[in-house]
Copies of this chain bind each other. A is one copy, B any other.
Amino acid sequence: MSHPVKPRPISRNRLTSAIGPERLREISTAFAERRAGYSLESPFYTDPGIFAADMEGIFGQHWVFAGSIAEIPEPGDYLTVDYGPYALILLRNDDGGVNALHNVCRHRGARVLTEPTGTTGNLVCGYHSWTYSPEGALIHASAPGEAGFDKGCFGLKRAHSRVVAGLVFVCLAEEPPEDFDEVAQIFEPYLAPHDLGKVKVAYQQELVEEGNWKLVMENNRECYHCDGHPELACSLFPTWGLTDETVPTHLADVWQRNLSAEEALRTRCDRYGLPFEVVEELDTRVAGIRISREPLDGAGESFSATGRRLSKKLLGDLRDFRLGRCSMHLQPNSWFHFLADHVITFSAFPVNERQTLVRTTWLVADDAIEGVDYDLEKLTHTWKQTNLQDKNFVELCQRGAASPAYEPGPYMKSEYQVEAFISWYVERMKEHLA
């Protein structure tokens, strides 16, 4: 974490002026009246005013996963991230950390960096060549004869940033929520063995889903729909999500195989000192998290049809391919799979009330050679397909939510993480609007 320049607050009172006090009261009431255990009322998925409130109260206040250091491996490497009305630069600095800067020139408001990714020294705005240091300080404004102009007042606005286990987080609030430190301590031991400092980007996919960001997240937080994912189903035990009490008799054999694999994985994790137990605090803290390691079906190594490895190179110091998947869910916008041979990160970036960009990144060991150690098509197949299927599901819901015949429906037990996401969301918004 590095921000010598204190981040300046933005967006104070924006919401009130943007949507008016009366509408704000209506929105607050809608949050207060949310029925627990049920999906949200239609406007939460379709109303631009509630979207604006979400951008302020969720994406303007909480830690958001923005990418990994594998995307910006060297000092000066940057990536840009846009969500809702925000435009950000994440720039790798000389200390190994990341500077988060608003991508908005302080002169006339031009977007400073225009490429999605790249490498830069100082940041030069293309409009009038105002030049900022990597920390955002204005170091040159070519205005001849400009008296009384104080460059110190016109640095790029900064945001808070954190790098934990190679994941880059950004927070736009003046005072970020405090419990992220605790959460970082929770997930760091799970992720560190996969060592994101020694991986490279094999592939990145960007999908714009025609659905509200919360529908994207709800869809991610349950596998009740996983019959709709035939490729992914090869990796998951058919008993996934069931318990001793709920397993149907015809799956008794599978259940035993599942339990054995779980036991074997536990043993293996104990041997290598890898944490294994589930930590589930999705709606019991501000920086909501769920993390666990679980076995995969078949060979149990990776997301392939057979369960066999998809890259021949183990990550970090791992000594075994058969480590199942370590899965992490973070509120508000990200999920992850850490396997022995590769890592997949997912982030949902809201575009507007009815569109969301989902960015998926496949990471492999930095010494893995495409075509030799891994086949890119095979590496990405399962989740490319799964993402497309999920996009379809989200879009079906967005269309349905617009109908006056839509009313909130009940989340099933297997959808408890959806409920956790929604109740987390509602609580955060109630706090913000209070």
Contacts and interface: CB of A to CB of B under 8 A. Distances in A.
A257 to B, nearest CB: 18
A102 B403 CA distance: 9
A178 interface: no
Contact of A104 (B11, B111, B403, B413): B403
A11 B41 CA distance: 12
Ranked nearest first, the 10 interchain pairs of A and B with the lowest CB-CB distance are A102-B405, A11-B404, A109-B400, A110-B396, A143-B412, A145-B246, A144-B246, A104-B400, A107-B409, A111-B396
Interface of A: 10-11, 14, 17-18, 20, 22-23, 26, 39, 43, 56, 60, 85-87, 102-111, 114, 126-129, 141, 143-146, 149, 154, 157, 218, 224-225, 227-228, 242-243, 245-246, 248, 392-393, 396-397, 399-407, 409-410, 412-414
A246 B110 CA distance: 26
B17 A20 contact: no
* Copies of this protein, total: 3
B144 A400 contact: no
Nearest to A47: B18
A410 B149 contact: yes
A198 to B, nearest CB: 34
A144 B414 contact: yes
B108 A218 contact: yes
Most buried by B among A17, A18, A144: A144
Contacts of A242: 144
Contacts of A11: 404-405
28 contacts: A17-B26, A18-B43, A20-B23, A56-B404, A85-B404, A87-B403, A103-B400, A104-B403, A105-B409, A108-B397, A109-B401, A109-B409, A110-B396, A110-B397, A110-B400, A126-B396, A127-B228, A127-B393, A128-B224, A129-B227, A143-B412, A143-B413, A143-B414, A144-B246, A144-B414, A145-B413, A154-B409, A157-B405
Contacts of A397: 108-111, 127
Nearest to A157: B405
A151 to B, nearest CB: 11
A111 B399 contact: yes
